[in-house]
């Protein structure tokens, strides 16, 4: 049998070029937040309660909440579905407002630039 060496072998990182990297877009901070689903509202509510009751079992929360969601009756789900519907309407409204602001923004920039140019021309006249 061959003798095993206890020497530390340096870790060679994988070739970066072969690995696909995800591109992150610079998102406009004024862009509206996406809508949340009925399940997202349910999850947030239950997670807050479970975190207080079981602070050391956060790994199990997803499974526990998912099972609780599946056990809900249609009547119990209606509340969360309504929250989701209202949030979807909010998102659509904010998205329209955002798109309108994008349409208006270039004209405002042109106006501001032209008034600044006129003001600077007035300063040079003596």
What's the pLDDT tens digit per position in 71-107?
999 999 999 999 999 999 999 999 999 999 988 877 6
Contact status, residue 80 vs residue 33, Cβ threshold 8 Å = no
* Interatomic CA distance for residues 48 and 98, integer angstroms: 32
Predicted confidence at residue 118, as pLDDT, reads 56
For the cut 90, the answer to whether the pLDDT of residue 117 exceeds it is no
Query: Which tokens hold the place of 61?
Result: 């929360």
Percent of residues, the chain, with pLDDT higher than 90: 51
pLDDT at residue number 105: 74
Domains of the chain: 34-110 (1.10.30.10)
pLDDT of residue 124: 46
Q: What's the angle, vertex CA 36, arms to CA 44 and CA 33, rounded to 5?
A: 115
Helix (H) or strand (E) holding 64: helix 61-71
Contact 23, 61 (CB under 8 A): no
What's the chain's average pLDDT? 82
What pLDDT score was predicted for residue 126? 43
- Regarding pTM above 0.85, the answer is no
The number of residues making up the chain comes to 126
Tens-place pLDDT, residues 19-53: 677 777 788 888 999 999 999 999 999 999 999 99
């Amino acid at each position: 049998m061959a003798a095993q060496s206890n020497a530390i072998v340096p870790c060679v990182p994988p070739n970066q070029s072969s690995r696909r990297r995800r591109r992150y877009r610079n998102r406009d901070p004024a862009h509206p937040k996406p809508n949340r689903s009925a399940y997202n509202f349910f999850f947030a509510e239950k997670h807050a309660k479970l975190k207080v009751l079981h602070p050391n079992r956060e790994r199990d929360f997803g499974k526990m909440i998912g099972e609780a969601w599946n056990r809900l009756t249609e009547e119990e789900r209606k509340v969360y579905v309504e929250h989701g519907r209202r949030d979807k309407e909010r998102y659509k409204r904010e998205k329209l407002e955002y798109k309108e602001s994008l349409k208006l923004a270039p004209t405002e920039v042109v106006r501001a630039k032209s008034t600044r140019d006129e003001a600077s021309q007035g300063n040079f006249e003596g």
